[in-house]
Amino acid sequence: MDTQQRLLAGRYELISLVAGGGMGRVWRGRDTLLDRPVAVKVLRDDVAADATFLARFRAEAQHAALLTHPHIAAVFDYGEVRAGSHGVPLAYLVLELVEGESLAAVLGRTPVLGVPRTLEVVRQTADGLAAAHAAGVVHRDVKPANLLVRTDGVVKITDFGIARSTSSAPVTATGQVLGTAHYLSPEQAMGQPSTPASDVYALGVVAYECLTGRRPFDGENPVQIAVMHTRDEPAPLPAHVPAEVRALVERAMAKDPAARFSDGAALRDAVDRVIAGAPTERVAGPMPTAVLPAAPAPTASLPGERAPAGRRRWLLPALAVLAVAVIGITVLVAALAGGSAAPGGPGSTTPASSTTPAGIAVAADQYVGRQVADVQAALVGTGLQVQLVPVESADVPAGQVTAVDPTGTLAPGATVRVSYAVPPVVVPTPAPAGNGNGNGNGNGNGNGNGKGHGHGHGDD
């Protein structure tokens, strides 16, 4: 877009640049017809030439236009005008101008918000998501950069650029991973369909970050972070976080979507209960980080149940007899397996030794060509350690495993190196001397403004 073109579509005056990045620019503007301030998001010319990106931009306008809610940035207008001789449409989206800044900017200055303010941010965001979910729209990219905080503390959700509507045809292919890695739900990381519970997970991650000052998972690249969402558990919340708030965040971040709050409305109502002092239901069953024992404890009973007096009297003798029987059977099996000769006696060729764990078979054709998250989960599940090795490749889809090493029969706990494809780094061509036109930075898709704080959407 020609930066000298200050009047868009004969109506919207572009006053100052708020944010800019990979897909487009966001301007502080004025609707000259209604004489009101607006935010104008303009798609970059080279991006608008791509039919997929243009369709996604249109979808953002359509999805956001469905929603009218105090905690969602309103859409006022959308249009496409022909620009230049190339015939590429200049696509623009006119939004409510939010006087404030993104939550990402707030966290940049104050990494830990504290419990009351965190609950307020989560409550308002969940309320906005409730309206989106009720309209059949899943945001799919809830993160601090997409939450605008007005100067009076009101939170507004923005950037429905990769949202999915249950009533329209998908813009993206099945299995395509969309979203920001640090806030990606496990099902999104595995290329599965997003649901309202996916937005709940992302908002749970935002709550975790507000309470701790850090993201729950971090890694060397987006693929590694996505794998961690599917497999790992975050570090516990600080000890000062109340138990009911801890339970709220744990449930929102449950790996299983069915164990989370079902949608924004359910999460909002849960926050209201916490604020009112009512207990929050924890995830049914053991927590994801719990390690189940190999056998139940001898004295265990159902919750709230005490063993009858008669049962307690015979319980210990019975267990003692059972223990003796188990030891006897173990000795008998060991004797039969080792033959009748005593260790070191006639006919004995090797000393008695403890049972050696069976090896784990690893074959390259089992894993090459699969997604790295699936392969890592499968190998870890067999008892092996995994070292991820990113390999730049333009010929293999990103995230696809290209090699595993070593192969064959491995000892439990051995480390397997899993090589997977990542897109090659594109080195930009140096601009000609004297060209001082920059192109923004980050992935600016926001519409916040105030006190010099633009709303930039980074790939956070």
State the CATH number of the domain containing residue 367.
Answer: 3.30.10.20
- Closest among 39, 70, 106, 65 to 448, alpha carbons compared: 39
Is residue 288 in a domain? no
Q: What is the mean pLDDT of residues 293-307?
A: 35
pLDDT digits (tens, 9 = 90+) for 106-143: 999 999 999 999 999 999 999 999 999 998 889 989 99
Q: Are residues 271 and 129 in the same domain?
A: yes
Say what the pLDDT of residue 199 is: 96
Is residue 353 in a domain? no
Q: Are residues 153 and 246 in the same domain?
A: yes
Is residue 451 in a domain? no
Is residue 284 in a domain? no
State the CATH number of the domain containing residue 223.
Answer: 1.10.510.10
pLDDT digits (tens, 9 = 90+) for 46-82: 777 788 778 878 877 887 788 889 999 998 999 988 7
Q: Are residues 151 and 261 in the same domain?
A: yes
Amino acid letter for position 204: G
**DSSP bridge pairs for 391:** 421
- Closest among 16, 271, 39 to 148, alpha carbons compared: 39
pLDDT digits (tens, 9 = 90+) for 326-349: 334 333 333 333 433 333 343 444
Is residue 67 in a domain? yes
Is residue 43 in a domain? yes
Q: What is the mean pLDDT of residues 362-383?
A: 84
Look at 214 and 433; give whichever has higher pLDDT.
Answer: 214
Q: Are residues 156 and 185 in the same domain?
A: yes
Say what the pLDDT of residue 312 is: 39
Domain final position from 43, 75, 96: 96
Q: Are residues 136 and 222 in the same domain?
A: yes
Is residue 268 in a domain? yes
Q: Are residues 146 and 242 in the same domain?
A: yes
**Residue 349 and residue 212: Cα distance in Å, rounded?**
61
Task: Note whether 159 and 180 are within 8 A (CB).
Answer: no
Q: What is the span of the domain harbouring residue 30?
A: 3-96
Q: What is the mean pLDDT of residues 141-153?
A: 94
Active site (annotated) includes residue 159: no
Task: Note whether 195 and 129 are within 8 A (CB).
Answer: no
Domain final position from 96, 111, 138: 96
Q: Are residues 66 and 120 in the same domain?
A: no
Q: Which secondary structure element, helix H or strand E, spans residue 430, and what is its range?
A: none
State the CATH number of the domain containing residue 50.
Answer: 3.30.200.20
What domain count does the chain have?
3
Q: Are residues 153 and 213 in the same domain?
A: yes
Cis omega (within 30 of 0) for bond into 406: yes
Q: Are residues 104 and 79 in the same domain?
A: no
Q: Running DSSP on this structure, what letter comes out for residue 167? A: T
Give the SS3 label for residue 49. coil
Active-site hit among 127, 141, 199, 263: 141
% of the chain with per-residue pLDDT over 70: 68
Q: Are residues 158 and 79 in the same domain?
A: no
**Residue 246 and residue 242: Cα distance in Å, rounded?**
6
Is residue 454 in a domain? no
Residue 320 token pair = 């003692």
Domain final position from 219, 252, 276: 276
Q: Are residues 90 and 213 in the same domain?
A: no
Q: Are residues 154 and 230 in the same domain?
A: yes
